[in-house]
Amino acid sequence: MKKLFILLLILLSGSHLFSQIYLPSFFSDNAVLQRNTEVNIWGWVNKGRQVTVTTSWSDEVVKVNANSHSRFDIKLKTPDAGGPYEMTITSGKFKKVVKNILIGEVWLCSGQSNMRRSTDDRLKEMLDEQPIATNSKIRLLEVSHVASFIPQDDIFASWTECNPETVKGFSAIAYFIAKQLNIELNVPIGVIDASWGGTSAEVWTPAEIINADEELLANANFQKPNPTKPHEPGTLWNTMIKPFSGYNIAGVFWYQGESNVATYNGYGKLFSEMIKSWRNAWNYEFPFYYVQIAPFDYRSKPEEQKGALLREQQTKVLSLPRTGMVVITDLVPNVKDIHPTRKKEVAERLAGLALSEVYRKKGYDYKSPVYKSHQVKDNKIIIEFDYIKGPLNVKGEQITDLLIADESREFVAGDFKIIGNKLIVFNKSIKNPVAVRFGFTDISMPNLFNNKGLPVSPFRTDNW
């Protein structure tokens, strides 16, 4: 496949080919373009030739000349949601017409296998949904699994209308996000599924960023060759993300992290750099919403709960602007299965972030509470949280996986009181408490929630 890409690039540079018009495959029939903006359209013709673009949604005629590398770039104003429309591109005697275009909202969905899970994995939620999944206002684009050391300009995939056949094998989370957004916004939705099971965040990050940082590079070297997936930095950025850079999107949904548990200590930095690199490529600080990895038995040493420590790193990434994190500690039927089956609820929580923050819709489950600060007072530790307005709620009589310790660093079960949105933790045997841990093991599924039913994110107040 890599050879095919290289051959394509060679052909693109040859003037004999570009007496015609070539567009990236995602500018295809059935595409969704972002509404109420200036969308970027690009392609290749013979160098220096004039290109004219017209659309059925506007009377505007846009003309531009291809540059010395045969590429042309055009900006088109898009209206509010609607369609279907057509876009016509002409150059000399050649013409290309892109049909059945919708104007709406476009979201990129990426990550590893939990984003990828579909009917192919016998996922019951999607098998039940598949027969009724006909919706011409939802469009799907599944990016082919190709990796390369060389940045690419195109992919081997194009848009399709959503129906029982095209949704087969498509990301369950991406589909359910699209369905929820379409219902709530009543506009066309396009979702791009660029995910690959078992992959680390390094392969989704430009290689030059990894190679320029000793810590990131050292952690990347922990990723070993595997016949089912690429492991080298940047190899999926080059083929599954970079080709889209410039294609106008509303934002990104991300579910990944399990393959970086072994190097949890550097994940916050890596993930932050990955997000920033994507935004730099688009030249746009788009919203980036992600899933905190689920409880799973990673067989960690008792003193080094790697899954919990990676979740902690994910939480730190919330310091980046326009990010949001979905907590799913309550959506795991089996901690021996790294692929929780309740994907629809995960998708609805991700969609809820977008509906609340991007589209300003009211009344949705919004953000899980995240540890903010603590203070010690009268042999008790008082915990305060970000992203909480109403009271905390416990499902049961005792908060599970709640621990407290003094300077001995020996944790014991914590008793608690809840006063509004504050958590007060104590134990009669601990006279001078210094630290609290909540849900801080690989498999914890604690039972503390906000008043909207969203679980509190696991945390620790210490750094032991």
Domain boundary among 71, 101, 131: 101
Do residues 296 and 338 touch, judged by C-beta distance below 8 A? yes
363 domain residue, yes or no: no
364 domain residue, yes or no: no
* Same-domain check for residues 95 and 219: no
Q: What is the dihedral of CA 410, 414, 418, 422, to 10 degrees?
A: 10
Q: What is the pTM (predicted TM-score) of this model?
A: 0.95
Average predicted confidence (pLDDT) for the chain: 95
* Same-domain check for residues 145 and 294: yes
Q: What is the CATH number of the domain that holds 58?
A: 2.60.40.10
Q: How many domains does the chain have?
A: 3
| CB-CB neighbours of 85 under 10 Å | 19
Q: What is the CATH number of the domain that holds 140?
A: 3.40.50.1110
Q: Per-residue pLDDT tens for 52-71? A: 999 999 999 999 999 999 99
* Same-domain check for residues 72 and 112: no
- Percent of the chain at pLDDT exceeding 70: 95
357 pLDDT tier (thresholds 50, 70, 90): very high
- Domain extent, residue 274, equals 103-357
Neighbour-count burial of 79, counting CB atoms closer than 10 A to its CB (0-12 exposed, 13-18 middle, 19+ buried): middle
Do residues 101 and 85 touch, judged by C-beta distance below 8 A? yes
365 domain residue, yes or no: no
* Same-domain check for residues 207 and 95: no
* Same-domain check for residues 109 and 89: no
Q: Which one, of 257, 264, 256, lies nearest residue 219 by Cα?
A: 264
351 pLDDT tier (thresholds 50, 70, 90): very high
Q: Cα separation of 139 and 30, whole Å?
A: 7
87 domain residue, yes or no: yes
Domain boundary among 101, 120, 140: 101
Query: And the tokens for 234?
Result: 């940047």
Q: Cα separation of 89 and 180, whole Å?
A: 34
362 domain residue, yes or no: no
* Same-domain check for residues 71 and 86: yes
Sheet with 459-460: strands ordered across: 412-413, 402-405, 435-438, 459-460
Q: What is the pLDDT of residue 366?
A: 79
Q: What is the pLDDT of residue 319?
A: 98
278 domain residue, yes or no: yes
| CB-CB neighbours of 150 under 10 Å | 12
* Same-domain check for residues 304 and 452: no
Q: What is the pLDDT of residue 64?
A: 98
Q: Per-residue pLDDT tens for 275-330? A: 999 999 999 999 999 999 999 999 999 999 999 999 999 999 999 999 999 999 99
* Same-domain check for residues 31 and 95: yes
Q: What is the mean pLDDT of residues 140-144?
A: 98
* Same-domain check for residues 120 and 196: yes
Q: Which one, of 327, 25, 308, 22, lies nearest residue 156 by Cα?
A: 25
Cβ neighbours of residue 146 closer than 8 Å, sequence gap 6 or more: 1, 2, 5, 152, 155, 156, 239, 240
* Same-domain check for residues 379 and 423: yes
* Same-domain check for residues 387 and 350: no
Q: Per-residue pLDDT tens for 214-247? A: 999 999 999 999 999 999 999 999 999 999 999 9
* Same-domain check for residues 385 and 410: yes
399 domain residue, yes or no: yes
180 domain residue, yes or no: yes
Domain boundary among 58, 86, 101: 101
